[in-house]
A and B are shown apart, each in its own frame.
Chain A
Amino acid sequence: MPLSNSKVADDGSSAQPQREGQAMVDSLTKVVACYRHLASCIGGSTDSTSLRQELRQTREHAQTLAVSCRNHLTARLRDKTLSEEDRKETELQWVAFSSCLELFHADMCKVYHMGSCFSVAKKSAMVQTGLQGGATEVAARALSMPNLQEQNGEQTASMEGLDQSQLEQEIAQVDRTLEDMEMKVNVLRWTVEAKGPQYADPVSVDSASLALLSGDEEGGFCDRSQMFVLLMLCGVALVAVVLSVCVVYLA
């Protein structure tokens, strides 16, 4: 039937930009998540020039992603020839994109505020939060690079000031983008329905940090008993091995 054939053909060609949009939104989500982790280290014991640089790089990457995502999605939504299903999908992506942008805006405001309070030069004024390692791996994940090049060079006060003013401009830009999005694109949020499940599946049971956290409260008691059980099992295994060797020897 020519009609259904053409439909299949259409789906084949329109799935491509759909998947593109989804991929862009996914990568933006990833970058925003990493930015949040980086932002939570500011002002703490691991705050340093490299952290600020990582923040800047992540932010710039997120901005470029956001611009391209917005252009793609606005073009898709303005397209009148979109089918009903495709439009629903695009609207979902649009909601995800704008929520991402809002989170990013909030994080940027916080980083700006804290950056002006905590200058990297005065290391003694930082809060002792108990963090030890840097967040370089998180930044690497955000920028999708296997390892970040070490950017050396002391960040002087003027460079920091430059960074802050740039951040201010970018915050204003994202603000304008959000306003434009709300006014100009007509996506009715009460018609958008989520497709996914209510509970996210556990990605992988992280027993190590769980044990650490529960040990936090109850002290080392539980872990000591676990160690004892482990030792017992090892002892039993050893005895079994020795017995089998004896049997083999005697037999």
Chain B
Amino acid sequence: MTIKLIRDHGQHYRPRMACLQKLEAMVLEMQSGVKSSEQKLNITSIPHVITGEDILAWIANHMKVDTQEARTMGTMLVAYGFIYPLQDHKRLILKPDGSLYRFQTPYFWPAQKWKVDDTDYAIYLAKRNIRKKGSLDVYEQENYNKLHKWLNYKWDFIVMQAKEQYRAGKERNKADRVVFDCQERAFWIVHRPPPRTHSAMDYGVDRLIDPNVEEKKTFDYYKRIIIFTQQAIMRPKVKSTVSLGALVKFMTTYKGHDPFLAPCLPSNPWQTDDDTYWELNMRSVETPTKMRVERWSFSFFELLSDPRGRADFKVFLKKEFSGENLAFWEAAEEMKWGAASSINEQAQTIFKTFLAPGAPRWINIDGRTMGLTVKGLEHPHRYVLDAAQTHIFMLMKKDTFYRYLKSPVYKDMQKKSLSPAPHTFTDSQLEQNARNRKPGIDPIIIWQQEEEERAKAAAAAGPIDIKKLMASKLDRK
């Protein structure tokens, strides 16, 4: 009793799984190729059993690949459920020794068209329970309880169907019953994997269009294709040498900073339960690490997006008396990301402080951008200052940034920065770390600290009135 006619425009179709058909063809070819023997169980013997090494040899021979590749292919066959292991049935890998495997019946082959139903899983678990009470694993027990809650309206049917399937199975002879049980068990290990393993049939998100259905070539379809092709022609294209060169440059620059490729100094907190790394890299730390400082020199965007870097840059700009550019950029960011109710008021403040002729912190942008921005500020929205902000960003990047990198402020920072030694924890120390885990600083406290800092900065970096500054100097004289 499932809802079949869902007419919302959501994603309900499984994606294409083209590998399944190819694997099916390969399995059918394997039938004559691989040597099969018999499995002896007590008094009965069950035919059509193959060994791992035979499968490996056949794949290597048939596809003309080396042993490592053949092993991966074989593991894929087992993981998808076309072949199932008889010993150690929960680990779906191909062992290249004499371990035994058998082919799965086509009814239980994985298919793209049909989604594996929870009702069937519930019936299977109920059947297992009927056969022997308490033979379900812990994760299966949990699943069973969950299904009992979700499929409660069908539960009588599920129990009845499980009993009937069990009774129908008793009609077959013993060897066939064992084979069928093995097949079903293997099927459900592929499609409802035990915990800490994954299923080869995991596919991510459902798709919007049914890939099995050919799209009808109507007038609308052709119109859409024409528009798409026209836009594709007009799109500016980058030469592959250029784009690949950019990719290579990015990779060589960031190679040492990638958390997957390079070890994180002093130690990865997730692995060793020691949070020195996080404490050294906090927002408002006194001395940043060498890696962090090096990262600021990669690009201006990196410098601005790191709060510690931005603070350092602000110190440099204060010395140069050109802090208005950064202040304008920050104000524009705040307007972009802030609340919609404050946009009008922020627009007014920004105009008075930065853009009006004779403003205390007047920014130097070209006439055209200034005209556009001022006109836009009559009806302010979130992105009115975008053009001006980009202009200022480019200005800072092309001019101030390089001066900053050559300045004594940055060089001092480089000298001061620490490079922590890597931790070498023994196992007992790791266990102690795990026991001494404490929660970190409450994010509310961090937010309060930031608010205080922001208030202080706003008070301190008010409009630098030249007159007042000269007056104070004159006073001293």
Contact = CB atoms under 8 A, between A and B. Distances in A.
- Answer yes or no: do A and B interact: yes
Interface of A: 26, 29-30, 32-34, 36-37, 39-45, 92, 95-96, 98-100, 102-103, 106, 109-110, 113-114, 117-118, 124-133, 135, 137-138, 140-142, 178-179, 182-183, 187, 189-190, 192-203, 205-206, 208-213, 215-217, 220, 223
Interface stretch (B159-167, B390-398, B465-473): B159-167
A132 B176 CA distance: 7
State the majority secondary structure of interface residues on A: helix
Interface stretch (B146-154, B241-249, B309-317, B377-385): B146-154
Interface residues on B, range: 35 or more
A138 B173 CA distance: 10
B130 A203 contact: yes
Contacts of A206: 131, 170
A37 B172 contact: yes
Contacts of B107: 39-43, 110, 114
Interface stretch (B25-33, B280-288, B335-343, B443-451): B25-33
B404 interface: no
B106 A118 contact: yes
Interface stretch (B12-20, B43-51, B193-201): B43-51
20 contacts: A32-B161, A34-B164, A36-B168, A43-B105, A99-B1, A99-B161, A113-B111, A128-B31, A128-B103, A129-B105, A132-B46, A133-B172, A190-B153, A198-B145, A199-B133, A200-B162, A203-B130, A203-B166, A212-B42, A217-B87
Nearest to B154: A99
A125 B183 contact: no
A243 B169 CA distance: 47
B265 to A, nearest CB: 47
Contacts of B39: 130
Given A29-B160, A37-B172, A40-B183, A125 B177 contact: no
B139 interface: no
A96 B162 CA distance: 13
Contacts of A125: 28, 31
A201 to B, nearest CB: 8
Contacts of A36: 165, 168
B89 A217 contact: yes
B311 to A, nearest CB: 57
A87 B167 CA distance: 30
B156 A189 contact: no
Nearest to B87: A217
Nearest to A188: B153
Given A43-B106, A114-B107, A132-B47, 6 more contacts: A33-B167, A100-B161, A110-B107, A205-B131, A212-B42, A223-B42
State the majority secondary structure of interface residues on B: helix
B161 A103 contact: yes
B402 interface: no
B434 interface: no
A127 B106 contact: yes
A191 to B, nearest CB: 8
Contacts of B44: 212
A95 B106 contact: no
A133 B171 CA distance: 11
B4 A179 contact: yes
A202 B162 CA distance: 11
Nearest to B152: A194
Given A95-B154, A212-B44, A109 B114 contact: yes
A129 B106 CA distance: 9
A127 B155 CA distance: 35
Interface in B108-141: 108, 111, 113-114, 117, 119-120, 126, 129-133
Given A36-B165, A133-B172, A182-B3, A200 B159 contact: yes
A131 B170 contact: no
Nearest to A135: B172
A30 to B, nearest CB: 5
A118 to B, nearest CB: 7
A103 B161 CA distance: 10
B2 A102 contact: yes
A209 B181 contact: yes
B36 interface: yes
Given A130-B47, A182-B3, A42 B106 contact: yes
A26 B108 CA distance: 26
A41 B179 CA distance: 11
B238 interface: no
Contacts of B2: 102
B103 A30 contact: no
B38 to A, nearest CB: 9
Contact of A33 (B145, B161, B178, B179): B161
B175 interface: yes
Contacts of A215: 41-42
A92 B181 contact: no
A29 B157 contact: yes
B182 interface: yes
Interface string B74-117: 00000000000011110000000000001111111001011001
A193 B164 contact: no
A142 B160 CA distance: 15
A189 B151 CA distance: 10
Nearest to A128: B48
A148 B131 CA distance: 28
